[in-house]
Structure 1
Amino acid sequence: MATTTPVLAAHATEETLSRHALGVSRRESVDFARSIETNLISDPVTRRLSKLSVSTDATTTTTAPAHSPSDFELLCVIGQGAFGKVIQVRYTPTGEIYAMKIVSKEYLVKKNSIANMQTERDIMTKVSHPFLISLQFAFQTTDNVFLVMQYVPGGELFHTLSKQGLLLERTACFYAAEMVLALEYLHGMGIIHRDLKPENILLDADGHVCLTDFGLSKELPEANEANTVCGTNEYMAPEMIRGNAYNHAVDWWALGALIYEMVTGYPPFRHNNRKKLLEKILQEKLKLPKWLSPDTHSILKQLLERNVEKRLGSGKSTMFQVRGVAAIKKHPFFKDIDWGLLERKRMTPPVVPSVTNSLDTSCFADSFTKMKATIESGGAVAPESPLFRRFSFTAADRLPTTNDVDA
């Protein structure tokens, strides 16, 4: 008789957190810790609070004065979640348009999400890549913390899928290829994203993708493994659901689920009941529509491989075998992709969003854009509190990398 995994057994007591940077998603992200050593679900509050002494001591400091809300003109709401709002803003000193994510400190304290917020901020201060969201400023008030990011006017890939139902395979291939490059960069930095899905992928004005939301990401040294169960149900890898230690290969499983959803209009495994959904991910045979090409069938089978050692993208290449991200790039599904040109954004995107100017918000849901753009006050937590120490940042402090140069 099949045994119930620790994650499924904890279904009734888990804590569900909304972690979407832009918009309200149909699928919530989950974050709760599990102790491998004891094979039990640890108390999520205790586990998160135990990390605060490390995660709140940011690795990047700012040499410039901290910013404040008065530096920005509030223009239009482009997203809302349990955490607060995302507002399109104008930076008054320069007139530049940005997206400002406003997160209530009261919410973070109540949800024991301080570590998640700090992780998101810390990772964004370090990364720089054409297909990753860029952070311009981070600051705080007594009520809120603020992440001011580049404004990406094409909206969520999820919104595009919702309107179109599904994408042509060549369109899905292009978006997937750009995600491969984004994940390759993150993994090279020792970072697992852990929440790849259409809701966390934006389209810029030219139609290139932009991966966002690092709240569930994990900085992981190459030889180490993670054990926290987190992410979004439909995109969780089997090894994570089982409560096993895992590595960057969970992102490649999620990429397979993403490609599947782009070309079919729905995730590879589906059920309204979470427990049954996770059981399907662990046990159900992958069903591939006949209309998909052989190359698409092949890459989906190899990415959605339950055996981590056999999964496309896992392992390292040797003189005898191509593995890791190199194996993904060599797959026939990507035969029309010139990876060098793609990374320099010199391949033409298959779809260009209908964006007229830098203020255009037409690609975002009316339910957001019709809301009043205001900054809410709440339960105050003093800026000098150790829970939010050294949060301020400005992009001028980030050291340039090879990805900042258009070769």
Structure 2
Amino acid sequence: MRFQDLVPVLYQEGRFHGDPVTLGVGGFGRVELMTTLTHGKYYAMKRVSKKLIVAKRQEEHILFEKKILKVIQCDFIILHATFKDTRYIYMVMEFCSGGEIWTKLKERGRFEEPIAVFCTACVVEAFAYLHKNSIMYRDLKPENLLMDVKGYVKLVDFGFAKELVRGEKTYSFVGTPEYIAPEIIKNQGHDYAVDFWSLGVLIFELLVGPPFSSSEPQKIYSKILDGVPKYPPYLSEAAKSIISKLCPRPGQRLGNTKNGIKDVRHHGPCYINFDRFPHDQAKADEEFSDWDRDF
């Protein structure tokens, strides 16, 4: 792919008719819809101001984001090429025509459990790949999940990702307030376990709504430190089970114990949706009337 072969796709109707199609706008720049001169395929191109990167001291983050995205070979993570000029750096990614999970969630209010399970499974596969390659993601949220044309969910935006040797911890305060794990708030040092905490928060948000919300970050942090909120009555036993197992102390989190992420993949025995009953050790009296001879 050559940079000069990419051309912007233009709006064909409405008030922005003739202008380039913008897929999203963020603090560092925007994402635009591009195609090739032969119009064979569509791409999403993230354009970021180099001057702004320097002003915000994000050079290392951007270089690391390029480094990991260039080496990643995973169906649930997307990057095709990177370019630069004197003003911007550009990241050319797969165009996910389904848009953000966040938009769909806003439209629907909450997802049915099978849909939430599918979305979560896609994230788990992305995490499995990243963790195997010694990378923490640290920014899971519905805004960073895009759907491709077939409905598969892809992980985007690796601005907070970090390489970490197993057994070590890092102390930077990063993440989106509603999804930050307690150990980051307490500055106790954190590792891969923070990704599993955020997975539990994501499942809750997909099925119910945000578990920790406020207009003030400090109030959000207080709610997080108080623990996972009450489950509504319509939530299944399986959903309650996985959320509660993803959101305890770091060492006890599902995915962060001996079997690793396999425990998340295989969560839930076959009886997960049934109530629990104590074992009945009493034996019924014997009966010999022979009514059951043909049973």
Structure 2 stretches lacking a partner, 5+ long: 10-20, 273-295
Larger mean Cα displacement after TM superposition, 140-149 or 307-316: 307-316
Distance 1:151 1:269 in 2: 31
Q: 1:251 is aligned with what amino acid?
A: D
**Size of the alignment, in residue pairs?**
261
Q: How does 1:6-405 map to 2 (within 5 A)?
A: 67-68=2-3, 70-75=4-9, 76-92=21-37, 95-133=40-78, 135-264=79-208, 266-284=209-227, 286-305=229-248, 307-317=249-259, 324-332=260-268
Distance 1:152 1:125 in 2: 18
Taking structure 1 as the reference length, the TM-score comes to 0.62
Distance change in 2, residues 1:335/1:162 (3 Å): farther
Taking structure 2 as the reference length, the TM-score comes to 0.84
Question: Does the residue aligned with 2:46 lie in a helix, a strand or coil?
Answer: strand
Question: Does the residue aligned with 1:89 lie in a helix, a strand or coil?
Answer: strand
- 1:299–1:333 contact (8 Å) kept in structure 2: no
Question: Does the residue aligned with 1:86 lie in a helix, a strand or coil?
Answer: strand
The equivalent of 2:293 in structure 1 is: none
How far off is 1:332 after superposition? 1.6
How far off is 1:284 after superposition? 4.2
Question: Does the residue aligned with 2:258 lie in a helix, a strand or coil?
Answer: coil
Distance change in 2, residues 1:74/1:252 (3 Å): same
Distance 1:87 1:285 in 2: 37
Q: 2:50 is aligned with what amino acid?
A: K
Distance change in 2, residues 1:335/1:122 (3 Å): farther
C-alpha RMSD of matched pairs (Å): 1.9
Question: Does the residue aligned with 1:139 lie in a helix, a strand or coil?
Answer: strand
Identical-pair percentage = 36
Q: 2:214 is aligned with what amino acid?
A: H
How far off is 1:229 after superposition? 1.1
Q: 1:71 is aligned with what amino acid?
A: D
> What are the Cα deviations for residues 275-319 of structure 1, in whole angstroms up to 9, with x where unaligned?
1110110124521111101111111111121x11111111223xx
Distance change in 2, residues 1:334/1:106 (3 Å): farther
Question: Does the residue aligned with 1:160 lie in a helix, a strand or coil?
Answer: helix
Structure 1 stretches lacking a partner, 5+ long: 1-65, 318-323, 337-407
Distance 2:269 2:240 in 1: 9
How far off is 1:93 after superposition? 6.1
Distance 1:330 1:117 in 2: 35
Q: 2:258 is aligned with what amino acid?
A: K
- 1:173–1:334 contact (8 Å) kept in structure 2: no
- 2:211–2:228 contact (8 Å) kept in structure 1: no
Distance change in 2, residues 1:333/1:197 (3 Å): farther
How far off is 1:126 after superposition? 1.0
- 1:312–1:328 contact (8 Å) kept in structure 2: yes
